[in-house]
Every structure is written in C-alpha cells, then in structure tokens.
Homo-oligomer: A and B are copies of this chain.
Amino acid sequence: MSIAERRIREKEAMRSNILSTGWQIVTDEGWQSLSIRKIADAIQYSVPVIYDHFANKDAILIEFGKQGFELVIGQLTEAKARHAEPAAQLKAIADAYWDFAFKNKEHYQLMWGMSIPCCEMDKCMPERSIFRNLVMAPIVEILEKEAHADAESNACLKYHTFWSILHGLISIKMVAPPDDTEELNKRVLDDAIMGFIKNLES
C-alpha cells in the first residue's frame, strides 16, 4: 500500500524533475539544443531512466507544448474577462496572445509544432479546442448581433481568419526579428485586428 504509494510518488517526482530540468535547458539554450543526455546529466541519472517516463524526446517537447497551451488559455481568459463587449474582448484576446507569444517564445514554438511531426499533435493536444472555443465565442456574438444568416458556419471561417492573422504576424516577427521596429509590429497587429473586427460588424 504505502510502499506502492511512495513508489508512485517517487515516479511522479522523477517525471516532474525531468520536465523542470529539461525546461531549464530549453530556456537557457533553446529547445533545438535540448538532448536526452543533457537532461540525464543534469538530473544525475543515466540516460535510460528518462525512457522509463517518456516514450521519446518528442514526448517531452510535446509536454512543453501542452504547458504552453495551459498558460496562454489562462491569460486569454483573463484578458477576455476584463471586457463586456465582444469586439473589445476580441481585441483584448489578440493583444494578450501577442504578448504571450513574445514573452514565451519557446512555449509558443513548441505549441505549434515547429519541431514535432504534426499528425500526433491533435491527439495529444485537447487544449487546442479550449483555445478555439475561447476565441470563437465573441466572434459568434458579433455575428449574431448583426443578424447574419449563417452565423454558426461563418464563425468557423472567421475564427480561422482571426488567428491566421495573429499567427502570421508572430511567425514573421520570430523568423526575422530585428529588421523592423517593435513599434511597427504592434501597429501591424492593431491594423489587422481592427480591420478584421470592422469587417465582422459590417
């Protein structure tokens, strides 16, 4: 009983030790240079121990992606709650998402599988649908207010557009950082999102 319990506890402790040590390496050197051996070295265990807790290296990176989703969902929820009007909510979500991406660059990249084969993503990431619902709700509200014929199916379309704009801007800025000013980038975001919202309402 108690022994088995302790063993489970120890196993979980080891697992989270691997994750937090791994994350330390990621923040220090970038996720590209995370390696199983580096983790093993840091936790002072041999390499195969890590494979007792994770199927492979990708599983560890996917775990970080999940953590990223949990983080951003929290921040988006807060940002949304600060406003009543759906248009204002949408703008707040966009701003919060933007902030998150650049304050949590490593997380952001792992969330959208910049490293991981894409097919496994959807199964491992139920968080993506939470994110989706969060963004979709205010869009549906706006469309319904404007009494559009097919609000539901349009919302799906508009959701994709909304966060394509966001993700596009962020991707570009991440690939080629210092050739434009910080300020221009924020203006592009504002321009795009305000245009999008305006279009939604008309």
Contacts and interface: CB of A to CB of B under 8 A. Distances in A.
B191 A161 contact: yes
Q: How large is the interface on A (under 10, 10 to 19, 20 to 34, 35 or more residues)?
A: 35 or more
A131 interface: no
Interface string A140-176: 0000000000000000111011011111110110111
Interface centre among A168, A177, A187 (most CB of B within 10 A): A168
Number of copies: 2
B175 A188 contact: no
Interface of A: 112-114, 118, 121-122, 156-158, 160-161, 163-169, 171-172, 174-177, 179-180, 184-185, 187-188, 191-192, 195-196, 198-199
Nearest to A32: B117
A191 B158 contact: yes
A179 B112 contact: no
Contacts of A188: 157, 160-161, 164
B175 A164 contact: no
A75 B157 CA distance: 27
A160 B176 contact: no
Per CB-CB distance, the 7 closest pairs between chain A and chain B, nearest first, are: A168-B168, A164-B168, A195-B199, A164-B169, A160-B188, A167-B168, A161-B192
A125 B118 CA distance: 28
B156 A184 contact: yes
A184 to B, nearest CB: 7
